[in-house]
Amino acid sequence: MSWDFETEPAFQAQLDWMDGFMRHEVEPVDHLISHGYDMTDPARQRLIPPLQQEVRERGLWACHLGPNLGGPGYGQLKLALMNEILGRSHWGPIVFGCHAPDSGNAEILAHYGTPELKRRYLDPLLRNDIVSAFSMTEPAGGSDPTGFTTTATLDGGEWVINGEKWFSSHARFAAFLIVLAVTEPPDESPVPSHRRMSMFVVPRETPGVEIVRNVGMYGHSGEGTHAYMRYNDVRIPADHILGERGGGFAVAQTRLGGGRIHHAMRTVGLVRKAFDAMCERALSRRTQGEELARKQLVQQMIADSWIQLEQFRLLVLHTAWKIDRYNDYRKVRADISAVKAAMPQVLHDVAARALQIHGSLGASEEMPFGAMIMESFHMGLVDGATEVHKITLARELLKGYKPASGLFPATHLPRLAAEARSRYHDVLAELHSEEV
């Protein structure tokens, strides 16, 4: 029997170091740079690389990767404990070399890239000398990829890509994009809809790669980072396809499974940040002669928040444990969808209560709660909308059930009582004979 909730001392020492390093060195950087992905920002280049070097020396660089790709291969459970700490800071994941979308794009390149693509893009990506973008969602809708219309056709030994993509985050800083495009159009090929698309590496400087505009998120200042892209006769070499032709969905799953749980691990940290602030304020603010913390309605907010946070954290840790155990994302599909669906709600609820307890200050730009609440909506969309994940979860769960054998359900009490009487017929008969 092994069912352990303790962290081994050597790894706890690493976590303790991370906690102090994040608090004193990394979290302050959030207030000094606007885009951690902007490799042309002199402040970013002065502040981030020395911190990354410290992380490397500590053996904590790119902990989502195995030793074959330069990471320590700690596994998902340890990564979850680390990511909880990283989640407190916007740029923490970059400092530790495990930031999206580069983490997932690196996994795709490692699995499916040619040696030349790996040399040109994977190696510098793993060192964070460059950043990349993932270009999948289209302006006409992201939740149903079978409706995507961007095409890639073979012409003279090259793929030619045409179409529009939407919300390709950080494309304006990226050295390359990973693009999903239709290679088997329905009017030319009878394959099923999930076999119509393929994944490609598109170097950012390729002629025809156009950023129509950089969309900003509500509440963020300055130019946005989520690119509305147009691919105009973009020609790339034939070997820039990743995986097999028509296998784009399978390749996408390589990155999305990990990406979703990693976002959730970091969200635990962000929720805890809101919770800590809530408790501090409840103990600091007085009204009607006593601290807010003594008001029962405030106590309820604190209790509800802690319960939601701890439930979510256990779900995340258990899912991470299962990934380590099974080493197969298909076996944790339901768990990952559950985590993904729970994440925005927990962040939203706890951040909203923290805002409320801080009153007008909480609603102001001087506190982070408004941004956290918006972030909860991002979390409900990135890597698939909440509704879609709930549908996946329910479908997966229903696979473990079958219809009732008769007209009434298996839990119909008269039926259970009849079965019980039949099962213990002898005992009941004996009791009955004793009575008479």
Task: Name the minimum Å distance from CB 348 to ligand FAD.
Answer: 14
Task: Name the minimum Å distance from CB 169 to ligand FAD.
Answer: 3
Cβ burial 60-79 (10 Å sphere, 16+ → b, else e): bbbbbbeeebbbbebbbbbb
Would strands 176-182 and 197-203 be described as parallel, antiparallel, or unpaired?
Answer: antiparallel
Q: What is the DSSP letter of 138?
A: B
CB-nearer residue toward ligand FAD: 230 or 378: 378
CB-nearer residue toward ligand FAD: 371 or 388: 388
- Choose among 71, 73, 59, 82: nearest CA to 7: 82
Q: What is the DSSP letter of 23?
A: I
CB-nearer residue toward ligand FAD: 247 or 362: 247
Which residues pair with residue 290 across a beta bridge?
287
Chain position whose Cβ is nearest to ligand FAD: 142
Distance, CA of 80 to CA of 86 (rounded, Å)? 10
Task: Name the minimum Å distance from CB 217 to ligand FAD.
Answer: 6
CB-nearer residue toward ligand FAD: 93 or 142: 142
Task: Name the minimum Å distance from CB 103 to ligand FAD.
Answer: 12
Under the rule (CB under 6 A), what is the footprint of ligand FAD? 101, 134-137, 141-143, 167-169, 226, 378, 381-382, 384-385, 387-388, 391
Task: Name the minimum Å distance from CB 248 to ligand FAD.
Answer: 12
Task: Name the minimum Å distance from CB 419 to ligand FAD.
Answer: 39
CB-nearer residue toward ligand FAD: 104 or 269: 104
- Residue 90 phi/psi, 5-degree rounding, is -65, -45
**Cβ 200 vs Cβ 161: under 8 Å:** yes
CB-nearer residue toward ligand FAD: 135 or 305: 135
Which residues pair with residue 152 across a beta bridge?
161
**Cβ 71 vs Cβ 63: under 8 Å:** yes
